[in-house]
Structure 1
């Protein structure tokens, strides 16, 4: 199981938070729970070898090989499965304020949803998939994909400095900035900020802050083998244990105690430092 990091082109750097290639000889590990906790980032997933399937609320949806998927921000966990064969996947995780640079759709239309590039970009998306299928080397495929994304952001030319600044404030405080504090700092009403966030991110500032706070904790979780560390550290991020347990179940589907006993190396690999 290999996870290789890719450096995006300079034109995309501001809008991409993480760019990786995942490869495995036998698909996704069947002995692993494969629970993916939400991280507040929209994604492009290119399955160049083997398809992927998602299990959400017990419902499995299959996503075919040689397709690219536009995934909006999720605020709930999802489980991944695949066929037992050689697997190769390119993942591009967008910055929260980078999502709206790649589509003229309201982000609220794609939150917790997965679309093929052909659904989002029509004929241009179909032409991209055909070109990728006819391109041999993986590095050349990545070059083709990046050039397509650069053309998209230039064509859409969609910016919002208010969203940029608001997202950065929430990230800089690890999601601990209250919405009242955000309203005061930005000088706009809560209602207006809610509307703006849902159009550009798909979720409210409060939901986004909750995701960022959870990710701060979850990254620590993924980088330690101490299964009990959270019992001492939760009060840095949460008001009390009850709030922590509620949030943890919301984003993983399990209580902290049960989750700590599960094997989820695949889910954690994306958070390893």
Structure 2
């Protein structure tokens, strides 16, 4: 189960939405397991019941702190827990949001969950205990909101060029060429790539590819046979092998082998509600 909450006006330049998730082991098999696609966003997560660990496709199982922050995900991953209940509050940041609000070195956060306490140099023990004791979901969201609001006055300025580039990528559903973006911004492609990676953490071509795949994935019909060749053409894949390669990269399986019905979260968030393409205004 997930619930999304809009951010207050003061956080709109940084945050796409807040969310609360509760997963119960009785709804799964031997353990809680959910598959997550790269979303184009960064996250700050506060676990207040149970604990999760993550593993990217073909990767190792990293330690996930109770309160963690992660930047861009360029590989799909699974979240797993052996606990009876996992509950958490999360913040989905706009692509440049973490850099703007906190000034993080975004390269270090790519595919890496790091301790929020260490990143912010604060002790969150008392905060975590308060989250655990609070029974009202809106109160938990308000607590996390306040943690971020306290940082707004110290927010960092980033290049508006990157925001404009991000807007073009989202408006084109990830189908625009990066060369076209830099040309429209009247800057060299190398300069745009450098500034984009500094603010977002990954190259613009990689980010654009994620945006395109998220838009394509949102078109999947969970109750019918999908015409992947037509979907690939719709989103400017040159040929089916090109689409096939992206699908396997992000889903870990070929379109024929991938069983979306196994994963409730990805059905709800990436297809039914399409949260990561409906809440992406960057300007």
Q: TM-score, normalised by structure 2?
A: 0.86
User: Can you list the C-alpha shifts for 1:108-144, whole angstroms capped at 9, x where unaligned?
Assistant: 1211111111121012555644554565543322212
Q: TM-score, normalised by structure 1?
A: 0.89
Cα offset, 1:179, TM superposition: 1.4
8 Å CA contact 2:14–2:101 kept in 1: the answer is no
Does the C-alpha gap of structure 1 residues 150 and 109 become closer, same or farther in structure 2, counting only changes over 3 Å?
Answer: same
Structure 1 residue 146 corresponds to structure 2 residue 145:
yes
2:70 corresponding residue in structure 1: 71
Task: Please give the alpha-carbon distance, in whole angstroms, between the structure 1 residues aligned to 2:256 and 2:151.
Answer: 44
Task: Please give the alpha-carbon distance, in whole angstroms, between the structure 2 residues aligned to 1:52 and 1:8.
Answer: 25
Cα offset, 1:172, TM superposition: 0.5
Does the C-alpha gap of structure 1 residues 219 and 98 become closer, same or farther in structure 2, counting only changes over 3 Å?
Answer: same
- Unmatched runs of 5 consecutive residues or more in structure 2: 274-283
User: Can you list the C-alpha shifts for 1:138-185, whole angstroms capped at 9, x where unaligned?
Assistant: 332221210111122321333321111111011110111101101210
Task: Please give the alpha-carbon distance, in whole angstroms, between the structure 2 residues aligned to 1:227 and 1:76.
Answer: 26
Does the C-alpha gap of structure 1 residues 35 and 261 become closer, same or farther in structure 2, counting only changes over 3 Å?
Answer: closer
Match of 2:228 among 227, 230, 240: 230
Cα offset, 1:77, TM superposition: 0.8
The 5 A counterparts of 1:164-175 are: 164-175=163-174
Cα offset, 1:207, TM superposition: 0.6
SS in 1 for 2:20: strand
Does the C-alpha gap of structure 1 residues 28 and 62 become closer, same or farther in structure 2, counting only changes over 3 Å?
Answer: farther
- Unmatched runs of 5 consecutive residues or more in structure 1: none
Cα offset, 1:193, TM superposition: 1.1
8 Å CA contact 2:44–2:91 kept in 1: the answer is yes
Structure 1 residue 259 corresponds to structure 2 residue 275:
no
SS in 2 for 1:220: coil
Task: Please give the alpha-carbon distance, in whole angstroms, between the structure 2 residues aligned to 1:27 and 1:15.
Answer: 36
1:60 corresponding residue in structure 2: 61
Does the C-alpha gap of structure 1 residues 208 and 118 become closer, same or farther in structure 2, counting only changes over 3 Å?
Answer: same
SS in 2 for 1:47: strand
SS in 1 for 2:148: helix
Task: Please give the alpha-carbon distance, in whole angstroms, between the structure 2 residues aligned to 1:246 and 1:46.
Answer: 34
Task: Please give the alpha-carbon distance, in whole angstroms, between the structure 2 residues aligned to 1:248 and 1:141.
Answer: 36
1:6 corresponding residue in structure 2: 5
8 Å CA contact 1:20–1:91 kept in 2: the answer is yes
Task: Please give the alpha-carbon distance, in whole angstroms, between the structure 2 residues aligned to 1:156 and 1:61.
Answer: 30
8 Å CA contact 1:128–1:148 kept in 2: the answer is no
SS in 1 for 2:21: strand
Task: Please give the alpha-carbon distance, in whole angstroms, between the structure 1 residues aligned to 2:142 and 2:17.
Answer: 16
Task: Please give the alpha-carbon distance, in whole angstroms, between the structure 1 residues aligned to 2:27 and 2:11.
Answer: 29
Task: Please give the alpha-carbon distance, in whole angstroms, between the structure 2 residues aligned to 1:217 and 1:170.
Answer: 14
1:181 corresponding residue in structure 2: 180
